[in-house]
């Protein structure tokens, strides 16, 4: 039996040929089709349920049918089974004849991963850093130190009392700029800005001298406070690594070798404690200098970064972002296609009736559309969602009832233009009913705006769904959605993967849709292949 494929008229074939000549649009069309077909297979490719189970000589298909827990565990429970836990049990051990075949990416969009299931580096970084010395001194008009607070370690003396009465010039080389800043504050005449200067003390310590901004007072001050902050370089920091498996330090350094044996044991003990819980940094004295020891380890908390098993990371509930991204693409594409189709059907019907009959029908229809267009869509959506509950169907119906108006204007204009054409007047004279004239004679010639606007409307619908989900007025939780991932990214600003990957997906679909729309518009544009001869 020979299959008869539908034949397109010469004009349609010519337009398709023009579209194929626009390589960017043509390849974008097939790429978007491929992405959509790929997303339709999301349940087969991205799912925590096994595709096939062989147990006690029987075959099961959990992806398509529900089986209670007692079927595989004899627990007597009719609850949903944890297939991954059952697969790791003795019932499905190697050689038992029982096995499960999971999806290529065995993580579902609503499956919550626990912290114990995520593999991270089981080691602790021991960061030993020199504590910055900070102190203050008060200087009089002769630049003698009248008072000191925590300045003794900086200047290398026994106590702060030993600094009283000492000229600052004995400890460092005073610059004219610093001396002028001190005297200007003591003069108490005009406002003074903040002053900072880096110097080296006679003790060999590099410090930064700081003077705070100054405003004139009722009485001149007798002294000026100077803040000293030690310049701590990165060379005074050391990082060691503690391995859990060996319970010892992997690498040692200069500072580690300068510690006493008791301090080393204490640091190892603290590092071992850090494997189980967070601990506060500790302070140790090494050769008379104070050092802060911090114990850094990557802790698993959600949202969590991308890993080897979870390519795009996990969201705030421990759900795999990659799986949710693909399922969200399927939902977004289905929503966009259904919304655009419903909107255009309503728009075509309304525009065709107005344009064909004209007169009072057209006038009444236009005024009704203007009133309907004035209704606030978002408020209506919030009201109906709070009363009826959020759902895919409700969102689709409400959005379709408000998004058909634009296309109705174009169809109305086409019908107003075409109804006066000779082929339409001939059909009227032949006595054909209005229904046949509208559907078989005028509508096929008025479909150019519908076809050219379809890709752009699809992109707009997908973007609108993401925006509504981001605002919390879209699909109900826990439905996978790009907008819902954007909302999580706003709450957890450090989780860059929650905004990067959904943005790339939305950008790619939008870009492909725009490229396709440009190609369709060029293919249907009669001026593109019009030649003028003189």
In a domain, 534, yes or no: no
Spatial contact of 398 and 334, defined as CB atoms under 8 Å apart: no
What CATH number is associated with residue 189? 3.30.450.20
Q: What is the mean pLDDT of the chain?
A: 88
Share of the chain above pLDDT 70, in %: 96
Q: Please report the pLDDT score of residue 236 as a whole number.
A: 65
β-strands 145-149, 195-200 pairing: unpaired
Q: Please report the pLDDT score of residue 104 as a whole number.
A: 93
Residues 218, 367: one domain? no
Spatial contact of 427 and 441, defined as CB atoms under 8 Å apart: yes
97-140: pLDDT as tens digits: 899 999 999 999 999 998 888 888 888 888 888 888 889 999 99
285-297: pLDDT as tens digits: 887 778 888 998 8
Residues 290, 386: one domain? no
In a domain, 418, yes or no: yes
In a domain, 520, yes or no: yes
Q: Which domain holds residue 259?
A: 123-129+235-296
Q: Is the pLDDT of residue 239 over 90?
A: no
The whole-number average pLDDT for the span 76-80 is 87
Q: Please report the pLDDT score of residue 533 as a whole number.
A: 56
Q: Is the pLDDT of residue 6 over 80?
A: no
The whole-number average pLDDT for the span 203-209 is 85
Q: Is the pLDDT of residue 8 over 80?
A: no
Residue 191, token pair as written in the block: 């406002």
**Domain count of the chain?**
4
Residue 370, token pair as written in the block: 């203007």
Residues 224, 241: one domain? no
Residues 178, 280: one domain? no
The whole-number average pLDDT for the span 56-66 is 91
Q: Please report the pLDDT score of residue 162 as a whole number.
A: 86
Question: In the block, which residue shows the tokens 């009832």?
Answer: 401
Q: Is the pLDDT of residue 224 over 80?
A: yes
Residues 209, 287: one domain? no
Residues 217, 108: one domain? no
List, in sequence order, every residue forming a beta bridge with 105; answer none if it has no partner.
46
Between CA 506 and CA 513, with CA 511 as vertex, the angle to 5 degrees is 95
More confident residue, 251 or 363: 363
What is the C-alpha end-to-end distance of the chain, expressed in Å?
54
Residues 386, 455: one domain? yes
Spatial contact of 482 and 332, defined as CB atoms under 8 Å apart: yes
Q: Which of 61, 107, 487 is nearest to 309 (CA)?
A: 107
How would you label 406-430 residue by residue, b for 16+ Cβ within 10 Å and e otherwise? ebbbbbbebbeebbeeeebeebeee
Spatial contact of 108 and 51, defined as CB atoms under 8 Å apart: no
Q: Please report the pLDDT score of residue 234 as a whole number.
A: 55
Who's near 488: CB < 8 A, 6+ residues apart? 303, 315, 316, 495, 498
What CATH number is associated with residue 517? 1.10.3720.10
In a domain, 248, yes or no: yes
In a domain, 271, yes or no: yes
Residues 449, 520: one domain? yes
405-426: pLDDT as tens digits: 989 999 999 999 888 888 888 9
How would you label 461-488 residue by residue, b for 16+ Cβ within 10 Å and e otherwise? bbbbbbebbbeebbbeeebbbbbbbbeb
Residue that terminates a domain, selected from 180, 198, 231: 231
More confident residue, 339 or 299: 339
In a domain, 322, yes or no: no
CA distances from 120 to 48, 243, 249, 323, 502 (A): 22, 13, 18, 21, 25
442-499: pLDDT as tens digits: 888 888 888 889 999 999 999 999 999 998 888 988 899 999 999 999 999 999 999 9
In a domain, 477, yes or no: yes
Q: Is the pLDDT of residue 2 over 70?
A: no
Q: Is the pLDDT of residue 529 over 60?
A: no
Q: Is the pLDDT of residue 5 over 70?
A: no
Q: Please report the pLDDT score of residue 10 as a whole number.
A: 80
In a domain, 312, yes or no: no
Q: Is the pLDDT of residue 311 over 80?
A: yes
Residue that terminates a domain, selected from 231, 261, 281: 231
The whole-number average pLDDT for the span 513-527 is 86
Q: Tell me the C-alpha distance between 33 and 44, whole Å.
A: 18
Residue that terminates a domain, selected from 180, 208, 231: 231
Q: Is the pLDDT of residue 253 over 60?
A: yes
Q: Please report the pLDDT score of residue 259 as a whole number.
A: 86
Q: Is the pLDDT of residue 226 over 70?
A: yes
Q: Is the pLDDT of residue 1 over 60?
A: no
Residues 223, 279: one domain? no
Residues 225, 240: one domain? no
Residues 241, 171: one domain? no
Residues 399, 492: one domain? yes
Q: Tell me the C-alpha distance between 192 and 214, whole Å.
A: 5
Spatial contact of 457 and 343, defined as CB atoms under 8 Å apart: yes
Q: Which of 460, 473, 475 is nearest to 328 (CA)?
A: 475
**Confidence band, pLDDT 50/70/90 cuts, at residue 304:** very high
């Amino acid at each position: 039996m020979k299959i008869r494929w539908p034949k397109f008229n010469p004009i349609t074939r010519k337009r398709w040929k023009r579209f194929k000549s626009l390589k960017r649009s043509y390849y974008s069309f097939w790429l978007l089709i491929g992405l959509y077909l790929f997303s339709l297979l999301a349940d087969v490719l991205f799912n925590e349920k096994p595709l096939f189970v062989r147990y006690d000589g029987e075959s099961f298909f959990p992806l398509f049918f529900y089986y209670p827990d007692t079927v595989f565990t004899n627990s007597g429970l009719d609850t949903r089974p944890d297939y991954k836990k059952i697969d790791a049990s003795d019932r499905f051990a190697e050689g038992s004849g029982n096995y499960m075949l999971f999806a290529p990416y065995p993580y579902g969009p609503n499956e919550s991963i626990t912290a114990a299931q995520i593999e991270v580096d089981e080691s602790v970084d021991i960061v030993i850093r020199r504590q910055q010395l900070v102190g203050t001194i008060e200087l009089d008009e002769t630049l003698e130190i009248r008072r000191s607070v925590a300045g003794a370690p900086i200047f290398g003396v026994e106590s702060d009392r030993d600094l009283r009465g000492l000229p600052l010039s004995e400890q460092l080389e005073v610059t004219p700029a610093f001396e002028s800043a001190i005297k200007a504050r003591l003069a108490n005449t005009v406002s003074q800005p903040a002053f900072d200067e880096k110097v080296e003390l006679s003790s060999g310590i590099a410090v930064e001298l700081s003077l705070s901004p100054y405003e004139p007072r009722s009485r001149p001050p007798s002294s000026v406070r100077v803040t000293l902050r030690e310049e701590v370089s990165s060379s005074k920091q050391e990082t060691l690594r503690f391995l859990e498996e060996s319970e010892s330090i992997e690498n040692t350094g200069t500072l580690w070798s300068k510690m006493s044996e008791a301090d080393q044991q204490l640091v190892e003990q603290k590092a071992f404690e850090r494997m189980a819980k967070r601990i506060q940094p500790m302070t140790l004295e090494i050769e008379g200098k104070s050092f802060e020891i911090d114990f850094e380890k990557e802790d698993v908390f959600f949202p969590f970064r991308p890993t080897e098993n979870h390519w795009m990371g996990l969201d705030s509930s421990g759900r795999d972002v990659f799986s949710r991204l693909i399922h969200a693409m399927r939902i977004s594409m289905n929503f966009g296609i259904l919304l655009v189709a419903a909107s255009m059907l309503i728009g075509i019907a309304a525009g065709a009736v107005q344009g064909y009959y004209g007169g009072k029908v057209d006038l009444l229809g236009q005024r009704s559309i203007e009133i309907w267009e004035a209704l606030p869509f978002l408020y209506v959506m919030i009201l109906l969602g709070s009363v009826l509950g959020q759902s895919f169907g409700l969102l689709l119906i409400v959005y379709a009832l408000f998004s058909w108006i634009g296309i109705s204007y174009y169809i109305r204009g086409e019908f107003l233009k075409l109804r006066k054409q000779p082929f339409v007047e001939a059909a009227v004279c032949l006595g054909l009913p209005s229904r046949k004239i509208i559907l078989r004679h005028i509508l096929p010639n008025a479909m150019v705006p519908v076809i050219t606007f379809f890709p752009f409307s699809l992109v707009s619908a997908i973007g609108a769904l993401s925006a509504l989900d981001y605002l919390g007025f879209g699909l109900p939780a826990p439905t996978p959605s790009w907008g819902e991932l954007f909302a999580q990214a706003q709450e957890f600003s450090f989780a860059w993967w929650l905004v990067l990957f959904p943005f790339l997906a939305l950008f790619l679909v939008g870009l492909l849709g725009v490229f396709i729309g440009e190609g369709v518009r060029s293919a249907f544009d009669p001026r593109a292949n019009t030649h003028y001869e003189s």
